[in-house]
Amino acid sequence: MNINVDSLITDMIGAAGNVAQSEGSKALSYIQRVFENEKETLKGLCDARLSREIDDAEFNQELDREKFVLEGELLTARIMTKAGTQKAVNAAMDVLRNSIRSLL
């Protein structure tokens, strides 16, 4: 039996793309929640600096602290993205396996 490789690749791309899109939207949602959760803190820092309650040094120190908080939170998004990539590749390989099985 022969296999239409062009069609197989198209199906694999579709499967991987569907999974990647779904997983990507989960990561984007997570990133949005992270920034929404930090919004009040960041607003407070901006307001404090603009009202001169804190000076540049303290403002920058607090921004550096917030940067570490955000970096820590966004490492989770990186893990989510990696897992999503693995799921997309698995979906593509499942298409290939199932196509071959159906021809045997």
| H or E segment and range at residue 47 | helix 5-50
Q: Where are the domains of the chain?
A: 5-103
Q: Is the pTM of the predicted complex or chain greater than 0.85?
A: no
Q: How confident is the model at residue 102 (pLDDT cuts 50, 70, 90)?
A: confident
DSSP conformation class of 1: -
Torsion angle of C-alpha atoms 20, 26, 28, 34, degrees rounded to 10: -150
Q: What is the pLDDT of residues 8-66, one digit of tens each?
A: 899 889 999 999 888 888 888 899 999 999 999 999 999 999 999 999 999 999 999 99
With a CB cutoff of 8 Å and minimum separation 6, the contacts of 93 are 12
